[in-house]
Amino acid sequence: MSKTARVVLWLAWVAALVAVAAIPVADLGDRTGLWPQIPSMFVSFRVALVAAVASLMLGLAAAWLNRSAGFLSRRVLGALLPFIATVVLVGLILGRFDAAEAAIRIHDVTTDTENPPAFAALLAERQANGRNPSEYDPATASLQLRAYPTIKSVLLDRPVAEAFDRALAAAQAMGWTTAADKARFHIEATAITRWLKFKDDLVIRVSDAGAGKSRIDVRSASRIGRGDLGQNAERIRAYIARLRG
């Protein structure tokens, strides 16, 4: 490989590494308190996109500089590795942006938009460590119904006490930190997102639906961030699937 091609290839790998590291750097800032996570997350997305585009262009340039070796040669294919890696990365980043748009930038999702479950045990912690209000905004209901029309209350063919035990077991099986009040048939839980380590809170309410049946309503709300990239709706769907299963 020529010296010029080698320099271009190394620059492509540096750009690819910058793109890959951008999001963990945002998480590091939140964990250490050195910089706020939300602004740095969006800056990281932009940095990642710029670095990815640079990597794509440099990877192609390195391959072009070695075209004399033949486009199926090891030199050319090696130069295309950062190109391939960043194509995948750009796809993932743009996919997250698409998810954010699909979520219509809401951060509070519930199965009961008319009478959503309310926070109690987690109220103080949300107020101390969060920026979003704990009270449900009625204006969110129309947005949610448009974005997630299939998220509805769950009916179980069980009396309330049994349904509560099942609801609590399902929440614990999800790996959430839970606080349960069986006297009120009320459960609160905290979930941590996989990649960015955001803390989101849930309320699970079990009520009598008559004829030996129970109704279960779930609410999942982010502590910070205007939009949730669809995480709260996805979490409620996963919980309902486990509850029914």
pLDDT in tens, 165-218: 999 999 999 999 999 999 999 999 999 987 667 889 999 999 999 999 999 999
Q: What is the dihedral of CA 9, 13, 14, 19, to 10 degrees?
A: 140
The pLDDT of residue 112 is above 90: yes
Q: Does 235 have pLDDT greater than 90?
A: yes
pLDDT tens figures, 115-158: 999 999 999 999 998 889 999 999 889 888 888 899 999 999 99
pLDDT at 212: 95
At position 66, the amino acid (one-letter code) is: N
Q: Which of 74, 90, 111 is nearest to 202 (CA)?
A: 111
Q: How high is the pLDDT of residue 63? A: 67
How far is residue 204 from each of residues 100, 138, 144, 160, 233, measured CA to CA in Å? Answer: 25, 19, 18, 13, 14
Tell me what pLDDT residue 146 has: 85
Lowest mean pLDDT among 65-69, 141-145, 216-220, 238-242: 65-69
Average pLDDT (45-72) is 68
Give percent of the chain above pLDDT 70.
63
For residue 225, name the pLDDT band (cuts at 50, 70, 90): confident
Render the burial of 187-213: b for 16+ CB within 10 Å, e for the rest.
bbbbbebeebebbbbbbbbbbebeeee
Average pLDDT over residues 17-41: 62
Instruction: Report percent pLDDT > 90 for the chain.
Output: 44
**What is the model's pTM?**
0.65
Averaged pLDDT score across all residues of the chain: 81
